[in-house]
Chains A and B, each alone.
Chain A
Amino acid sequence: MSKRILVVEDQEDNRRIVRDLLTSVGFELVEATTGEEGVQQAKLHSPDLILMDIQMPVLDGYEATRQIKSMPELRHIPIIVVTSYAMSGDEAKAQSAGADAYVAKPFSPRELLSKIQSLLS
């Protein structure tokens, strides 16, 4: 059974890169383009892992992460937060929001893949 990954990301290109990368190694992908949608999709599909972008309008990645981590049925799902470069303090904020790991943009698809695999194993 293939693992299901939820990608919450407002940028089409970034979603596509992650989609192309992850489907090529056999993951099943669920996508969301806003924080609210991300929380709904997480409830709907209970993915094995969530990839959460920080910079999104309205409900940002921190808040979405916080909401998901506050739900008992979803709390166990590992969340990787994608932070933007040079925004110092992002890591600490991601951690306090309950993220399990973070990758900083620009992330190398190879590095991202290895991080996902290590969290799922």
Chain B
Amino acid sequence: MTFLAWSNSFRDKLINWVAGVPARVQTKLLVAFLTIVGLLIVLGAVSLQVLNGINYQTEELIKLQRKIAAYRQVQHDTTNQLYNISTALVLRDDRMLDTALRQLGQFGYDLDRLAFVAKDESELLARVQREYGEFINVVTRVVQLVRSGSVAEAQEVQLKQSVPLADRLERLTNQLVNIAEADMVAAIEATENAYRTSRTVVIAFAIGSILLALGLGYVISWSLIEPVKKIETRLGQIAAGEFTQRVDVANRDELGLLAADVNRTSEELGNLYRQLAAASRHKSEFLANTSHELRTPLNAILGYTELIQDDIYGPVPEKIREVLNRVQSNGRHLLGLINDVLDLSKIEAGQLTLSINDYSMKEVVQTVVTTTGSLAAAKKLNLKTVIEEGLPSGRGDERRITQALLNLVGNAIKFTETGEVGIKAAAANGAFQIAVVDTGPGIPLEHQQRIFDEFQQVDSSSTRKKGGTGLGLSISKKIIELHGGRIWVESEPGKGSTFRFTLPVQLNMGEKSA
């Protein structure tokens, strides 16, 4: 496994682990922020600690420096003392002797300072003090001897006692200076080492903290983003009607709950969808069966009636023929009602499938005119057509389009008592523009929308008077809309009605379901 693959798998494991922590998102974020704040505090404390250490080292260095200066002073004083006494002995100068004595006091001060500064070299220092005490005594004696005139004795003492003492003192102080200087060098080196170490510690700690904070942020972010993305994808699938999948997230927080809810919703929706599909299938099966069951006996009734009318079973008396005609027209009406109801149910259930073929709108209009011609003639209505020259060939369900136009023209004839019914067919902007114009009673504005709804006629009395189910317009509207067209009415009471619809010339689909 390459390092990259390993780190990726490690990353995923870490993200999954964080996602799987059974805590609320809020808590996780709080813990992350607190961790980062804690790291900052610790970093600050470490830095302060390092600064303090450096400060202490500096102070130590200053002390050492002072100590060295003091040792040197002692050395210098001793030498000075010897020089002064020697000069005084040679010159026999009283002032020089005073200076020498005065300097002995200065010695005491220097030694006090030494006592303050020196700790490590206390033994050595004690010897210096002892020697120094002796030195002071010897010098004092030399001065007394000089003053009392015993110069030769003073010289004797000076040579035999002061000089060796001074030599010893010089060696001792030299030793002290050497020790202190060595200490100083060691201290400087130690300081440098300490500084380097501290710097490394601080930098390492800072880098570690930054990496940890970044890592923590990254892992927490992805432990939140990953499930949100998954849930988003899943919701998209649900919206597209895919109910079988599940969304799996490692989270045991609010996002985990959300994912569980999405899964439950999806399951419920899936169940509902299956139930609906089953119900819809049952409904369409029922419709198909009903359609067959209802029509079969009715077809037989209509068939026998026509055979009787055609004298197949012998000559029919005029009176009976008249009744037979009524049986036939009522039978046809019943069949029409059944067909309308079943058609509409099929459309509502989304079961109506258009069978798309090439057709001629001119032929559709002519079929409608042929079918309704006798009806118009019976009411002495003029049925006229205006078909634009060179109509393009259409593509759609010819039978359904014919049915839609037939309903409109049938209605127009049904509701018009005098005058004419006109059918106009033209094409513009890739759509057929069809109008059915009548000189009937017209439709009040408040009814013009409602008449396209199921079981609506201008008033319920007209249903009884004119017959029909009140489903024709509704069916026509749905057929036209299935083809991507639009239907509307322009009318004014007393001035007739014009039903217009547009129908795309080309329905570019193999099949289309409602």
List the interface of chain A (C-beta within 8 A of B).
11, 13-14, 17, 20-21, 24, 55, 84-89, 92, 105-110
Contact = CB atoms under 8 A, between A and B. Distances in A.
Interface in B411-467: none
Contacts of A84: 291-292, 295
A88 B355 contact: yes
7 contacts: A14-B300, A14-B303, A17-B307, A86-B342, A88-B400, A105-B299, A110-B306
B352 interface: yes
Nearest to B357: A92
A13 B295 contact: no
A86 B291 contact: yes
Contacts of B297: 13
B339 A13 contact: no
B295 A85 contact: yes
B353 interface: yes
Contact of B298 (A11, A17, A55, A106): A106
B483 to A, nearest CB: 14
Interface of B: 288, 291-292, 295-300, 302-304, 306-307, 310, 312-313, 335, 339, 342-343, 346, 352-355, 397, 399-400
A84 B292 CA distance: 8
A86 B346 contact: yes
A14 B300 CA distance: 6
Given A13-B300, A14-B303, A17-B304, A55 B292 contact: yes
A-B interface, 7 closest residue pairs, ranked by CB to CB distance from nearest: A13-B300, A17-B303, A106-B299, A24-B312, A109-B306, A89-B355, A88-B355
A109 B303 CA distance: 6
A17 B303 CA distance: 6
Contacts of B397: 88
B295 A88 contact: no
Nearest to B511: A89
B353 A88 contact: yes
Contacts of B343: 86
A86 B289 CA distance: 12
B13 to A, nearest CB: 58
Nearest to A89: B355
A17 B27 CA distance: 85
Given A86-B339, A106-B335, 20 more contacts: A11-B296, A13-B296, A13-B300, A13-B303, A13-B304, A14-B300, A20-B307, A20-B313, A24-B312, A86-B291, A88-B352, A88-B353, A88-B354, A88-B355, A88-B399, A89-B353, A105-B299, A106-B303, A108-B302, A110-B306
A72 B423 CA distance: 49
B303 to A, nearest CB: 4
- Residue of B297, B300, B353 with most partner-chain A CB within 10 A: B300
Contact of A92 (B303, B313, B355, B400): B355
A108 B304 CA distance: 10
A101 to B, nearest CB: 16
A10 to B, nearest CB: 10
Contacts of A92: 355
A89 B351 CA distance: 13
A109 B312 CA distance: 11
A39 B161 CA distance: 158
A107 B302 CA distance: 9
B300 A110 contact: no
B346 A20 contact: no
Nearest to B304: A17
B335 to A, nearest CB: 6
A86 B312 CA distance: 30
Contact of B312 (A20, A85, A88, A108): A20
A38 to B, nearest CB: 19
A25 B448 CA distance: 52
Contacts of B400: 88
A100 B312 CA distance: 27
A104 B197 CA distance: 102
B275 to A, nearest CB: 26
Nearest to A17: B303
A109 B399 contact: no
Contacts of B353: 88-89
B291 A21 contact: no
A121 B302 CA distance: 27
Contacts of B313: 20
A112 to B, nearest CB: 9
A14 B299 contact: yes
A55 B299 CA distance: 14
A105 B291 CA distance: 11
A103 to B, nearest CB: 11
A109 B310 contact: yes
A94 B148 CA distance: 163
A110 B310 contact: yes
B224 to A, nearest CB: 53
A27 to B, nearest CB: 13
Contacts of B291: 84-86
A109 B342 contact: no
A80 to B, nearest CB: 15
A86 B294 CA distance: 13
B306 A108 contact: yes
A88 to B, nearest CB: 5
A94 to B, nearest CB: 12
Contacts of A21: 307, 312
B379 to A, nearest CB: 23
Contact of A17 (B300, B339, B342, B354): B300
A106 B292 contact: no
B302 A106 contact: yes
A10 B419 CA distance: 49
A11 B313 CA distance: 21
A106 B295 contact: yes
Contacts of B292: 55, 84
A45 B295 CA distance: 31
